[in-house]
Structure 1
Amino acid sequence: MQPETFDTVILGAGAAGMMCAIHAASRGGRVLVVDHARAPGEKIRISGGGRCNFTNIGTAAKNFLSANPHFAKSALGRYTQYDFLALVEKHGIAWHEKTLGQLFCDNSAKDIIAMLLHEMDRAGCELRLATTLVSLERDESGFAVTLGGDGTARIHCRHFVVACGGKSIPKMGATGLGYQIAEKFALGVTETRAALVPLTFGEDVLSGFREIAGVAADARVTCGKAAFEEALLFTHRGLSGPAILQISSYWREKQPIRIAFLPGQDIHAALVSAKRENGRRAIPTVLADILPKRLAAHLAEVHGWAGPIGEASDKKLAAIAETLQGWEVYPIGSEGYRTAEVTLGGVDTAGLNSRTMEAKAVGGLYFIGEVVDVTGWLGGYNFQWAWSSGWAAGTAIAERAA
């Protein structure tokens, strides 16, 4: 029995895979997308609280981590956030901008999935779900592919695209399959770890955090040279919130993180003013004017900030301000891939063509999206990398088919 023939097989019906399929088929190439899940775009569906933070209006290469910080520039520069936004608007999807340039659907993330499926259908792509990759071998004219599950088949293709993501959120079926494929064809894989993930702490710190679990506060969180000003959230397991998720991509074991509450404000001046206005007020009460009440009470208790503010010397008030804007804590780990939004690291970009996403040493083999060692900040950047890298590979494939 002869195998089915496709120009391109794409492993992964996520953001990058579907975008790649749309463009790979744009000039008539026969394209098949396969995914082990029973629905396409599952990570899109759950993203942004169900409204999909589909891009960031300020996307630039500086918003990404990679062993090669220049690698992402080509794809991001040729298919930009404005290009994807034009596609969204073409489909009449209402959207809004939130803080720091983040763009969300007004209605539902399902609108983005429907848009991609419509474009795939219009381009003539075939989609097979509940289908697994059994084997992948290279031959003289392309790749021999064996599929299992609902889409059991033997297939031959000229181009094979790996778009199956990283290890984050294993309950959704995430695995390290993309890295295994890379290693099978002798491509390097950089160290991988959970990123955009809450940080955990030892019992000595955690016992205090439990008292204020659920409290959020604006802060500037720093690790090494990286710093982010957004909200942080105290949890029963440690720290979360946007500022913590962002810094988690830079944090390594045994490193401290520094937390500055009320960044940009002169806390010392505020305390001196409060002392002058009403010296009889207790220090915790004064702190509750500028910090969440439970957080103010907790910090005052931990550090012994008690008594009327009028009895505190200026030196003590300066020390309180310094502590509030220079609190150093040592995480012991993260919550791991279970809750991580993305995987840091991946297929080494040294082995890929930045313009086409094709493996330099294996013609016809492509890697796109999260599986590659390109990881964006929180806020729509990783989706933009999916759109841009998927477009780059799909366009390159279409040009060869023309």
Structure 2
Amino acid sequence: MSSPKTYDVIILGAGGAGLMCAAVAGRRGRRVLVIDHADQPGRKILISGGGRCNFTNINTAPDRFLSANRHFMKSALSRYTAQDFIDLVNRYGIAWHEKTLGQLFCDQSARQIVDMLMAECADAGVEVALGKAVSELARDDSASGEAPYSMRLGLDRLRARSLVVATGGPSIPKMGATGFAYEVARKFGLKVVEPRPALVPFTLGGTQILFRELSGVSADVIASCGKTSFREAALFTHRGLSGPAILQISSYWQHGQDIAIDFLPGLPPEWLVEQKRDRPKIHMATALGSLMPDRLATTLADKIGLGGELANLPDRKLAGASTRLHRWAFSPNGTEGFAKAEVTAGGVSTADLSSKTMEAKKIPGLYFIGEGVDVTGWLGGYNFQWAWASGVAAGAVA
């Protein structure tokens, strides 16, 4: 049997975090191999941002990420910032633009980001093996000074001094996503925070199923869960609720909780009473129609049950309607799951990882980066910035 091929670093996963880590490690003179079971690199990058990749957010800050340890992401994010990635994009001459809320997108194609990362890896001498899955992954403690990590890749035996797991989470399984990172973590004794779909649409049932008649209608709202709120668009679907505001708040939601929607964002509680004084002859649906799509205005007015001209409605009933419109409760019966989730919340416990290097505290040379870690960003480029930052953190030392 032939002797195994030995590398300084083997990275499992050719997504954003894995490729960034590989390029950084390779530039340090490390012999690096990236392995991915998919037949092309960066598959999630390619579909992100409508094919234009929302590659970072200029408002990146630790408080825009969820984790059991809200301080864990501070180190990596502070050492590789959104501006650092923008500088890299600019060096490659990739044109980009800012959309709402600090979100940055390629002018042309997400493929430019993948090509850039692959070029960085090529320049750093990184080897990439695609369309192949590893098996028989193990660690030999007796070889800890040499190359303790071993595995098979087809007929080849491989060994590595460091192993970086960058295989992501199970969101969007049609892209080949799996929970492999969690299997590896558990194999080596690391804890895993229960994974759940995040940035995902809600499903509605029961009496709220009547809102399905609004499928395709969107409106500017404030979506709230507990003490957390987001003001962006909400979209009614044939199954429930979606849109940026809903995807954002979904990361904070737990089964059994209500989602509150403010259909009158920014307006004072007395707005309807003021409308009665200023435009007494109009109906509720007409008043609401000045703020939102007519179909939504009509449906909300019907559900509130106040017909006729505003002049004929008592102020107390208008005040009650205003209260409901400012905090309309929906009770999701679930979400659309990992199939429609943009990312995964939960993952490899940050309690078992170094926040500076992403290395397992008790397993030398084992690193976890990217979405597989219990760090989840807001919608709008934050999760890509975590991929870049965590990849750099591990690549600088692995």
* Same fold? TM cut 0.5: yes
Q: Which runs of 5+ in 1 are unaligned?
A: 398-402
Partner of 2:153: 147
The reply to whether residue 98 of structure 1 matches residue 99 of structure 2 is: yes
CA deviation profile, 1:13-61 (whole Å, cap 9, x unmatched): 0000000000011122111101011110000000011111100101011
Q: Distance in 1 between matches of 2:175 and 2:254?
A: 26
Partner of 2:171: 168
2:358 is paired with a residue of what secondary structure?
A: coil
Q: Distance in 2 between matches of 1:289 and 1:355?
A: 52
Q: Distance in 2 between matches of 1:79 and 1:146?
A: 33
Amino acid across the alignment from 1:226: T
CA deviation profile, 1:51-81 (whole Å, cap 9, x unmatched): 1110010101101111111111110010111
TM-superposed deviation, 1:278: 3.6
Partner of 1:303: 304
Q: Distance in 2 between matches of 1:299 and 1:280?
A: 19
TM-superposed deviation, 1:267: 5.8
Q: Distance in 2 between matches of 1:70 and 1:62?
A: 9
Count, aligned residues: 392
Partner of 1:241: 243
Amino acid across the alignment from 2:85: F
Partner of 1:37: 38
Q: Which moved more, 1:316-325 or 1:227-236?
A: 316-325
Contact 1:284 1:305 in 2 (8 A): no
Partner of 2:313: 312
Partner of 1:157: 160
Q: Distance in 1 between matches of 2:165 and 2:172?
A: 18
The reply to whether residue 82 of structure 1 matches residue 88 of structure 2 is: no
Q: Distance in 1 between matches of 2:269 and 2:41?
A: 50
TM-score by length of 2: 0.96
TM-superposed deviation, 1:263: 1.3
2:34 is paired with a residue of what secondary structure?
A: strand
TM-superposed deviation, 1:309: 1.4
CA deviation profile, 1:315-357 (whole Å, cap 9, x unmatched): 1221121111011111111000000011100001111111111
Q: Distance in 1 between matches of 2:171 and 2:82?
A: 24
Partner of 1:322: 323
Q: How does 1:191-206 map to 2 (within 5 A)?
A: 191-206=194-209
1:366 is paired with a residue of what secondary structure?
A: strand
Quote the sequence identity (%): 58
Partner of 1:218: 220
The reply to whether residue 378 of structure 1 matches residue 379 of structure 2 is: yes
Amino acid across the alignment from 1:309: L
Q: Which runs of 5+ in 2 are unaligned?
A: none
Amino acid across the alignment from 1:214: G
Q: Distance in 1 between matches of 2:26 and 2:79?
A: 19
The reply to whether residue 188 of structure 1 matches residue 191 of structure 2 is: yes
Amino acid across the alignment from 1:143: Y
Q: Distance in 2 between matches of 1:28 and 1:77?
A: 24
Partner of 1:340: 341
TM-superposed deviation, 1:279: 2.2
Q: Distance in 2 between matches of 1:81 and 1:289?
A: 39
Q: How large is the RMSD of aligned CA atoms in angstroms?
A: 1.1
Amino acid across the alignment from 2:197: A
Partner of 1:178: 181
Q: Distance in 1 between matches of 2:44 and 2:187?
A: 26
